[in-house]
Amino acid sequence: MSFGGYFYTYRVSPENDGPHLDLTFSIQERSYARPIGIGAAAALIVLIILTMTTTLASKILPMSDEYLLVMIPPAPDGAEPLALNSLRHEIDGKTISVSGSVMNRTAVSISNVLAVVEMQDTTGRFPQTQEVPVQPEELAPQAVGTFMAMATLEENPGGYIVKFRFADGPFIPHKDERAPEITITPQPMPHLIK
């Protein structure tokens, strides 16, 4: 029997000899699977958003600075694993380009090394940081890789800082092994002075 879109059923049960009115959902067992699934999906979405936008992931996962330091291989002498062999810069107006070479001092190959070059203008208010890969991507033991970064600053270039890090990890300590620059200062010849 149907009245305005609702279904009603009249049943007479053998235990009860009287009429019994059943509504559509009165005889169905309640299933909590759908509400539990919706609640679990909502909680999972909130957890994903929290781990991406806050520091929750660093508290949950066993990641710390000490954990990341394991990625840095030691040098045979116990010093820094990388050595900066050369460093050059060119300035053209407000554009600065920095290039150099770095050597792997360890006994193992390392890969995915980035040169992080922070270029500063004379005011110090508008620094630009470039992360450029060291080429070749994999540095064999005692091999040398090169890098080059360029930026156009708001004001005239005033200086730069070079660091190295893994693409997916911590900064790598390096030592400066650049050869000293040779400068020649002309001296007047004593016999020519009158």
Question: For 139-191, how does the pLDDT look when each residue is reduced to its tens digit (9 = 90+)?
Answer: 999 999 999 999 999 999 989 999 999 988 889 999 988 877 666 777 676 66
Residues forming CATH 2.60.40.10 domain(s) in the chain: 82-176
CA 174 to chain centroid: 20
The conformation of residue 188, written as its DSSP 8-state character, comes to -
pLDDT tens track for 52-91? 898 887 777 766 667 777 778 888 888 899 999 999 999 9
Omega before residue 136 within 30° of 0, cis: yes
How far apart (Å, rounded) are the C-alpha atoms in residues 167 and 139? 14
Task: Kindly state which CATH superfamily the domain 82-176 is placed in.
Answer: Immunoglobulins (2.60.40.10)
Instruction: For residue 113, count CB atoms less than 10 angstroms from its CB and return exposed for 0-12, middle for 13-18, buried for 19 or more.
Output: buried
Which pair of structure tokens corresponds to residue 25? Answer: 């959902």
Strand order through the sheet with 95-104: 144-152, 95-104, 82-92, 174-176
Query: What is this structure's pTM?
Result: 0.60
